[in-house]
Chains A and B, each alone.
Chain A
Amino acid sequence: MATVNGQTETAQGNINSAKQPLPPAKSVDSQSVLRRLQSELMALMMSGESGISAFPEEDNIFHWKGTITGSKDTVFEGTEYKLSLSFPNDYPFKPPKVKFETTCFHPNVDLHGNICLDILQDKWSSAYDVRTILLSIQSLLGEPNNSSPLNPQAAQLWSNQEEYRKMVEKLYKPSSA
């Protein structure tokens, strides 16, 4: 009986897919996205990268929380920033949406945590992954692009590194979570 039931189910599945070709294609897509994200998570955990980390939220592998520590010898040394990464259904062909959760006083980060980074927009490549994104953001912290700032005040202050460091410390609110 079980096999008979299984056959009827698959038959129904075929009929459904014939009627609605789009949803199954999407599910296949999300399958491959899932696989890719799982593989990335594995790679990230195995790589043992210091200074960056990321992990999916509780029950949704399409939403990750990441952390970046400020690189040594930069004004961000000793600070840690939480980020949220939200992966689209057509990831990795489209970039994830990455935002700072922790307030970050940086020329290329606005007050809402949005990041202006080319590889997260037009320079995205499907060969990038969470690891390279986080490393890129980490290096962006120390090397801002002051020519097109999202935070003009930060861009102005950048030339004075001592003052900038004070500002970073003043605005830095480490999240308790």
Chain B
Amino acid sequence: MVSDSIPTAPIPSAANTKNLGKKKRTNRSAKLKQCKIDARREQWLSQGAVKNKGYKDGGDDNHAPPMHARKDGKRSLEELEMRPTGEENDGSIHQDSDLESPSYSPTSVNSSLLGGNNSGTHFTASSSSSSSAGCCSGNITGLDDWEAVADALAADEKHQNLCSETLPEHKTVVQMVSSCEMEYGSNLGTRESKPESALLISPASGNSRAWRPDDAFRPQSLPNLSKQLSLPNPDRHCGGGITWARTAPPYSCPICCEDLDLTDSSFIPCPCGFRLCLFCHKRIIEDDGRCPGCRKPYKCESIETEARMLGGSLTLRLARCCSMIERS
């Protein structure tokens, strides 16, 4: 049972890491950090989901995790830090989590199951305390803090084995969460005032509130990572992602600035790779028919050929019609 339950957990996380890999290549700004944090959060949730069979039964989970959390909160914090960093480095979370979670839960299968849940709930607990801490400290200034958090995390990665100072680690988590929330709040003012209702209304908007305790037991409202990455994220648009949008595959049409839907984003009308939405493409085809990216005429477009048929060779068509009639 142990061998069955534990290896299944990292599978979604590995998939997430692949998705993350794409983002990493394209996006080197602060958004990347947000993605990482999203992925980590997502991984915790998925681990909790897989490992804990009584996932939907909030009653079972509630009594066990706090015990763990209080007993060895220090350990679970370490565990909390180490798992995501392991994943971030090379996707070799398997070793870390497989080795560690049994060691932290020495008794039985049951405790290993709880271990997955334990970390999850503790994570949310730390976040709830963190938001208040962030409010108290009040030195959260958006992107600068992101940088600081990233540096702190990088430093932690290097000294993974030490992990002697739990307090600084906790602080990094605190800053991470609170600055994250600050950014959400500044970009989407309504979210901050009613975060939980906002969650219920728009689960897939990238504003995943995995930090709140009630969310951990509400799987419907939890967005999955693939959704977050594929959908245009309002935060990414607002938060200075404009330079980024030029280099990465665009989330919005460069011509009309409307968001690209699934059809649009898989539509590459020109070999030069310039993407645009179908509406703008149609408009250009009706106009001069040249790709905005390279100025070469679009080729092999059904609309274009139809227009030619109608415009240029009406007589030819008529002749064919006549011949058809003659034959019949």
Cβ B257 vs Cβ A93 within 8 A? no
Residues on the A chain within 8 Å of B257, using CB:
32, 35-36, 38-39
Instruction: Let me know if A36 and B242 touch, CB within 8 A.
Output: no
A42 lies within 8 A of B242 (CB): yes
Contact A127 B274 (CB under 8 A): yes
One of B242, B256, B295 near A35 (C-beta < 8 A): B256
A125 within 8 A of B: yes
Task: Kindly list chain A residues whose C-beta atoms are within 8 Å of the C-beta of B292.
Answer: 125-127
Q: Is the CB of A35 within 8 A of B258?
A: yes
Partner of A32, one of B243, B258, B284, B290: B258
Task: Considering the complex, give the chain A residue whose CB is closest to the CB of B254.
Answer: A127
Which A residues between 117 and 159 are near B, CB-CB below 8 angstroms? 123, 125-127
Q: Which residues of the other chain, B, contact A35 by a CB distance below 8 angstroms?
A: 256-258
Q: For the complex, is B60 an interface residue (Cβ under 8 Å from A)? A: no
Interface size on B, residues (CB 8 A): 18
A127 near B293 (CB under 8 angstroms)? yes
Distance (Å) between the CB of B274 and the closest chain A CB? 7
B189 sits at the interface (CB 8 A): no
The reply to whether A46 and B242 contact each other, CB–CB distance below 8 Å, is: yes
In the bound complex, how far is the Cα of B279 from the Cα of A92, in angstroms? 13
A93 and B283: CB pair below 8 A? yes
Which residues on the B side are within 8 Å of A92 (C-beta)? Answer: 255
Taking the closest CB of chain A, its distance from the CB of B273, in whole angstroms, is 12
| Interface pair A93/B284, CB less than 8 Å apart | yes
Report whether B295 and A123 are in contact in the complex, using a CB–CB cutoff of 8 Å: yes
> In the assembled complex, which residues on chain B have CB atoms less than 8 Å from the CB atom of A36?
255-257
Would you call A47 an interface residue if the criterion is a C-beta within 8 Å of the partner chain's C-beta atoms?
yes
Instruction: Report Cα–Cα, A32/B252, bound state, in Å.
Output: 13
Q: Are B258 and A47 in contact (CB under 8 A)?
A: no
| Closest partner residue, chain A, to B280 (CB atom) | A126
A151 to chain B, nearest CB (A): 28
Q: In the complex, which residues of chain A have a beta carbon less than 8 angstroms from the beta carbon of B21? A: none
- In the complex the two chains form, what is the Cα distance from A39 to B251 in whole Å? 13
Judge whether A111 is part of the interface by a CB distance below 8 angstroms. Answer: no
Quick check: is A43 within 8 A (CB to CB) of the other chain?
yes
CA distance A46 to B283 in the complex (A): 29
**CB closest residue in chain B, given A36:** B257
Q: Which of B254-299 contact A (CB under 8 A)?
A: 254-258, 274, 280, 283-284, 287, 290, 292-293, 295
Pair B242/A47 contact, Cβ less than 8 Å: yes
Instruction: Determine how close the nearest CB of chain B comes to the CB of A39; give it in whole angstroms.
Output: 4
B240 at the interface (CB under 8 A from A): yes
Map CB proximity to B onto A28-42 as digits: 1 under 8 Å, 0 otherwise. 000010011011001
Beta-carbon nearest neighbor of B256 in chain A = A32
- In the bound complex, what is the Cα–Cα distance between A124 and B118 (angstroms)? 60
Q: What chain A residues lie within 8 Å of B256 (beta carbons)?
A: 32, 35-36
Complex alpha-carbon distance, A35 and B256, angstroms: 7
CB distance from A58 to the nearest CB of B (A): 23
In the complex with contacts A92-B255, A127-B293, A43-B284 CB distance below 8 A: no
CB proximity of B19 to chain A, nearest CB, Å: 26
Asked whether, in the complex, the Cβ of A47 is within 8 Å of the Cβ of B287, the reply is no
Q: Which residues of B contact A32 (CB under 8 A)?
A: 256-258
CB distance from A22 to the nearest CB of B (A): 16
Asked if A46 and B254 make an inter-chain contact with CB atoms under 8 angstroms apart, the answer reads no
* 10 A-B residue pairs with CB within 8 Å: A32-B256, A39-B257, A46-B240, A46-B242, A93-B284, A125-B292, A126-B255, A126-B280, A126-B284, A126-B292
Q: Which 5 A-B pairs have the closest CB atoms?
A: A127-B292, A39-B257, A126-B292, A125-B292, A43-B242
Which positions in A face B, CB cutoff 8 Å?
Answer: 32, 35-36, 38-39, 42-43, 46-47, 92-93, 123, 125-127
